[in-house]
Structure 1
Amino acid sequence: MQKIAHLRKTLQSLKPFQIRNYFIYIVRLRLGAYKKAAPKFTSNEIGRFRPLNVPVSDQVLPFLLADSNRIEETAQKILNGRFFPFMKNVSEVLSLKPENPSLHWTKIHPGQNEDIKLIWEPARFSWMYSLVRAWMISKNPVYQDYFWTQIQHFNDQNPAYFGENWFSAQESAMRIITLSFCASVFLKSSPSDNKNLAILSKMIYEHACRIPSTLRYARSQNNNHWLSDAAGLMTAACVLPAARQSEYWFRLGWREFQNALNHQILPDGAYIQYSPNYHRLMLELVLWVNQLLSLKRIEWPENLHQKIGRSITWLIKHTDHISGSVCNIGHNDGSNLFPLGGEYQDFRPVLQALSKLFLAQTVFPVGPWDELYNWFIDRPLPTSSIFPCTESRSYLDDTILRIGDDHDWALLQVSGFQSRPAHDDQLNIHIFHNGRYLALDAGTYRYNSAPPWNNGLKTAFVHNSLLINQIEPMDDAGKFLWLDWDQARILKKTASSAEAEHFAYQKIGLKHTRTLERDEGWMITDRIIPISSSRKAGDFHFRLHWLLPDLDFQIQKIESGWKLATPEFNLAVTNAAIPLTIRLIRAGKPVYSTEDSFEQEAIQAISGWFSRTYDERIPALSLIITGKAPAPFTLQTEWRFP
């Protein structure tokens, strides 16, 4: 019965076009329609690779020279057979070999605890950008030679449409974009021989042929897959203009890209996946497609221009202006299509470039993050004044609950879900102080691994939120599926405060409101109120969680609660009328607790961790305050800075 109920709710949560496209995709998959031999074609049908105009500006070189030592050191590691997956700080062996190179992609079924993303990551070729940057500095042919060698290695180890690296059309699309960019840079001033160009042209042609047949799957997901597939087709059309299907690819890709953006950018500018990381990927694809449209002398439709502008502003409002880091909301799969001009967590490169293109403004002062802009845009930065994201400019100021200034700000997370939520995180709070992320969001770590690391960080138990009776606010129906969506609404916003509520606990007769106030620091007030005064009185168990950086700490019992002191901040949780218990967990293990505190084993294992990017987790501190009380009751958290 539960499976039937979940199926009904799942269908209700999807749009008709998603259900229709997924149904047709599955039927065709089961009938073997996608299991075809590699298409037969001649070199005349493919044509010859035509480089794109990148970089468009000579101003790229000064940015590279300013960081030349690090760039060349990274490139040398790649030449030695190591790379940095997901832009982690630790290098790993570079291998393009899949586990099942003799299996057609339709016959591949990744195991529940096997993470196919670890196979895909090196084959995305994102590490090639390091070779391109090093080559721009020195013009050393060793970087170009390694590029062509690795392309041949991929083709030898990944025959067309066989193996894990052909399982997802999105991976094909991402490779098309990266290979086209990097090859264009190398070929701009150093032509290659006909053999290399023939290999590259054939490879891109085969990748482009992989995409159209499964576009229905991409549409059904209504996420970054759809955008990537469309951009990949447009790219193949532009670099293989003489290919037999070139015009069809571009026409199809441009149509699909427009449709995807119209479906996926929400009215307030939020991205439909509720993830700043995927939001950035969407904007990076927009930046890339803008180059392709310029080549074809096509302009953006006005409605999309406005949507993209709102989406840029939305992401700016979730970004710290000192560090460039963002609130680590939702899925974070380590994607960064153009790692040019900043570290993985620095969103300033894409925001600066896109703000110039679509807002005719600069967001940040001139800095290393302007490198990306100069790869793509052959015009100087405007001289107009920099605008702060906290300035009141549009209705977005009433829908994004960001309080404070560039040096000290906090955000109260409120979503009106219109598509599948990523994390159970309504009313989650993020705090940045002097460029440091202090009230953390745990991130993702991995989608596929042995429990509890099979997307385990999506739970409300590791977010900065209050839980009642150990109830997960939404129904966890699968690794990527929440049902009974927990909606929220904004109650009030001023220059120094914000208040919102969510509705998850109406099913047990309670209302939860949260207020964020700025004074000498930050005050967060959680109020639990009975919906009906006639409800029978009884105690409710509550659990308040804060995820904090891994700092030295001291814990002190104070008159009305508990205080945690660190070198960077003091945090106190108080209620004078309710006895409070405390537990502090670091890297899955308790480091301080009162005798009567308790945590579920599975939740404790994923507590006290922070994931900056995919497949990386570092120790953090999970502060957990619990107690029991009849409703109504109030809990206050006070942040103070030295």
Structure 2
Amino acid sequence: MPSLRTAFKLLFQTGPRPLALYALYRLGLKAGHYQRASARLLRFAGDETFPLFPLFPLPRREAILAILDARFLADLFGEADEIVEGKIRLFGGEPVPLQLSFSVHLQHWTAYASGQAPLPACSLQSADFPEIDPKFLWEPARFGWAFVLGRAYHLSGNEKYARAFWQYVEFFLESNPAYLGPHWMNGQETALRLMAFAWAAQVFAASPASTPNRMARLTQSIVQHALRIPLTLVYARAQDNNHLISEATALYTAGLLLPEHPQAARWRILGWRWLNWALQHQIGSYGEYIQHSTNYHRLMLHCALWANAIKQDSWPRATMEALRRASAWIFSLLDPVSGRTPNLGANDGALILPLAVSDFADYRPTVQAAARAFLKSGLSSGPWDEMSLWLGLPAPEQILEPEAYLADNLRGRQSWAYLRTTTFKSRLGHMDQLHLDLWWRGLNIAQDSGTYSYNAPFPWDNPLVTSRVHNTVTVDDREQMTRAGRFMTLDWFPAYAKTILETDERILQRLRAHYKTRRLQHERTVTVYADEHWLVADKLKVKDRAEHTFRLHWLLPDWEWTLDNTATDGRGAAFTLRLKSPQGDVTLRLFPDHRLSASACRLTIVRAGEVVYGQRTALPYEGWVSQTYAHKSPALSLALECLAREEITFLSEFRFSV
């Protein structure tokens, strides 16, 4: 229960609307409204069947085969075969058993949502997750793996993929009756499953395994899913994030898929209304999504691309403009070599439209499809075009590279960086103002730590949201903002950036950013030079004369390293770290403020929660990076801490050599 002070902050910083909507949702749970309404929905759903209207034309097999060579086809069929054998790649990781049922008696979904019944145990959780994490329960039941089976079936015609889909669907529906169990407690989970069912019903329609009885049962389940979503749309509106986007998309889908159902018009109108409202209100003026996360940005674009592919209505101008901004924003963050983006903000491992043979972290399929749909441009052709083909998107009118879109990015010849500045208007994902992501030849040199888990016990109770694990400067171990819960951060402040015009021909680009709070000013200037080296200058000033601990942090890849702390030059003493990367050596030199004595500063390196250089007590979550949910790997956490009064300057220099 939040304190009175926190409650007042929450009210004034988020506004009364989301709190009122959430209170209305909780009242419905407490009063038993949703349980009574579910009983009425079951009677309304009945046993009557309705024809499914085709939503999209299937792509030509020849067009897909033209962009996928033998290696990519082997990857697709290999993953599909794993699914046939009962294994899925959870959150883009290694194959794990496909779990769609529970070994306990299922109660009405409200019992789990209200906390009256504990969530059933999940065999997919490792020892790192002793508490039940609903994401492990929900992810397999989103049926995202059905897209892999469907794509493999479409290209090969092998009936084993269709048979596997129907066997899993029948098992799921038998094991999870409508509105009973955890798989029905969340409107978004219901929505994503509805979309997967709608897609698979069309892709597998011609298979002998798609018998009339099976199609009728699937249609009945889609109706039950569609009836469930409006019941708690108030919760999605309270969240005002990806929940509202996905649930609105699913309602619109149901309205088009089942045009003869009595509720079809209502679903279509309701879904289209809230989808457009959400896209117009949740995409900022610079194109960044409201959750300040690249992965949730991708989820939002997947919903928009799905709706764009099936829509029978024209996008309002305001929606189209928002989607153009959102597409340009993610395009500008694409690393042209690896296809990855900075792992900004919360990352829950979602990939709701796996319509291409690619790694979880590869954003090229999404960027290509979004650019074709909303920007009339795109990347050069490649295997990432498969998603565009499934969505019926034509080849782009012009080929562009990520640097074509203006953003707070700096670009060298083989390297680039993103300096994090934003204005928060809703609950932020990470406290990462003035974080710097640096890339060279497809390698993420200075990286974001990711998320790892929302629901693990201490110390892994979502600690990677904190400022101290990002590539920025903190003071006295204090966070930039106030963390008021696992998913709640308060006392937001904006940061601003501007390009500095230089006449020095040695300088390719210079960007200066800053923020100011009641007690602190932080200015960060990032410069990229023509010889491909980078200089990051941090200037901090506090508003009192007391002594403070200033901590500069860089999260680096887990490569072989050496350290020299004896070097000096005209800028004073320096700590020099050399890393051996797959592309050549990377050198990072840190220069403390020259006005400070040597004893005022200390350098430490932490790897996987253990100090490997220097002396201090490491926090368990330091020296880790998480590329996707529930997966983490070692990294090098380099921290330079200095004691100073009033103000301090740090210099960080990155150089690359082959």
Matching residue of 1:623: 638
Q: Distance in 1 between matches of 2:155 and 2:623?
A: 42
1:266, CA displacement in angstroms? Answer: 0.8
Q: Which residue is 2:132 aligned to?
A: 114
Shift of the 484–159 alpha-carbon distance from structure 1 to 2, 3 Å rule, reads same
1:312 and 1:351 in contact (8 A); partners too: yes
Letter of the aligned partner of 2:42 in structure 1?
Answer: P
* Root mean square deviation of aligned Cα: 2.0
Q: Residue 51 of structure 1 contacts residue 183 of structure 1 at CA under 8 Å; is this kept in 2?
A: no
Match of 1:80 in 2: 85
- 536, 549, 553: which one pairs with 1:541? 549
Q: Which one is further off, 44-53 or 518-527?
A: 44-53
- The answer (yes or no) to whether the contact 1:441–1:610 under 8 Å persists in 2 is yes
Q: Give the aligned partner of residue 511 of structure 1.
A: 521
Shift of 1:528: 1.5
CA shift in 2, pair 1:170/1:101, >3 Å: farther
Does the CA contact (< 8 Å) of 2:589 and 2:653 recur in 1? yes
Give the AA of the match of 1:525: A
Which of 303, 306, 325 pairs up with 1:310? 325
Whole-angstrom distance in 1 between the partners of 2:385 and 2:280:
28
Q: Does 1:135 align with 2:153?
A: yes
User: Residues 93-144 of structure 1: CA distance to partner in whole angstroms, max 9, x if unpaired?
Assistant: 1110146552111111367942100000111111122211221232111110
SS at match of 1:48: coil
Aligned-partner Cα distance in 2 for 1:47–1:2: 48
Instruction: Tell me the amino acid that sits aligned with residue 101 of structure 2.
Output: K
- The question of whether the paired residues in 2 share the 8 Å contact of 1:128 and 1:182 is answered with yes
Distance across 1 between alignment mates of 2:342 and 2:78 = 30
CA distance in 1 between partners of 2:393 and 2:512 (Å) = 44
1:303 CA displacement: 1.4
Q: Which residue of 1 aligns with 2:262?
A: 244
- Find out whether 1:451 has 2:463 as its counterpart: no
Q: Which runs of 5+ in 2 are unaligned?
A: 120-129, 502-507
| Aligned partner (choices 603, 611, 614) of residue 629 of structure 2 | 614
Matched position secondary structure for 2:580: coil
Q: Match of 2:21, SS?
A: helix
Q: Report 1:98-247 matches (<5 A).
A: 98=102, 101-108=105-112, 109=115, 113-188=131-206, 192-247=210-265
Letter of the aligned partner of 2:225 in structure 1? Answer: H
Q: What secondary structure does 2:101 align onto?
A: coil
Deviations 1:432-475 (A, max 9, x none): 10111111101111100111112111011110111111111111
Moved more, 554-563 or 543-552: 554-563
Look up the match of 2:123: none
2:29 aligned counterpart, secondary structure: helix
Residue type of the alignment partner of 1:245: Q
Contact map agreement 2:422 2:495 (CA 8 A) in 1: yes
Equivalent position to 2:537, from 525, 546, 552 = 525
Residue 492 of structure 1 and its aligned partner are, at CA, apart by: 4.3
2:50 matched to which residue of 1? 47
- 1:324-347 deviation per Cα after TM superposition (whole angstroms, max 9, x unaligned): 101111000111111122211111
Q: CA deviation digits over 1:466-497, x for unaligned, max 9?
A: 11111111111100111111321225444611
Question: Is residue 319 of structure 1 aligned with residue 321 of structure 2?
Answer: no
Q: Could you say what secondary structure the match of 1:566 adopts?
A: strand
Amino acid at match of 1:35: Q
Which residue of 2 is the match for residue 570 of structure 1?
Answer: 587
Instruction: Name the stretch that deviates more: 476-485 or 337-346.
Output: 337-346
SS of the residue aligned with 1:612?
strand
SS at match of 1:567: strand
Counterpart for residue 585 of structure 1: 606
**Contact 1:429/1:464 (CA < 8 Å) preserved in 2?**
yes
Q: Which residue of 1 aligns with 2:26?
A: 26
- CA–CA distance in structure 1, aligned partners of residues 165 and 207 of structure 2: 15
Give the secondary-structure state (helix, strand or coil) at the position aligned to 2:177.
coil
Describe the SS at the equivalent of 1:546. Answer: strand
2:19 aligned counterpart, secondary structure: helix
Given that 1:98 and 1:164 are in contact with CA atoms closer than 8 Å, whether structure 2 keeps it comes out as: no
Aligned-pair CA distance for 1:179? 1.4
In the alignment, is residue 9 of structure 1 matched against residue 13 of structure 2?
no
Q: Partners of 2:362 and 2:326 in 1: how far apart?
A: 17
Please give the secondary structure, in 2, of the residue aligned with 1:279: helix
CA distance in 2, matches of 1:17, 1:629: 44
Structure 1: segments with no counterpart, 5+ residues: none
Contact in 2 for aligned 1:25/1:216 (Cα 8 Å): yes
Letter in 1 for 2:361: Q
User: How far apart in 2 are the matches of 1:45 and 1:199?
Assistant: 10
Contact 1:222/1:260 (8 A) holds in 2: yes
* 1:62 partner amino acid: A
1:417 lines up with 2:454 in the alignment: no
Amino acid of the structure 2 residue aligned with 1:104: H
- 1:20: Cα distance to partner? 2.8
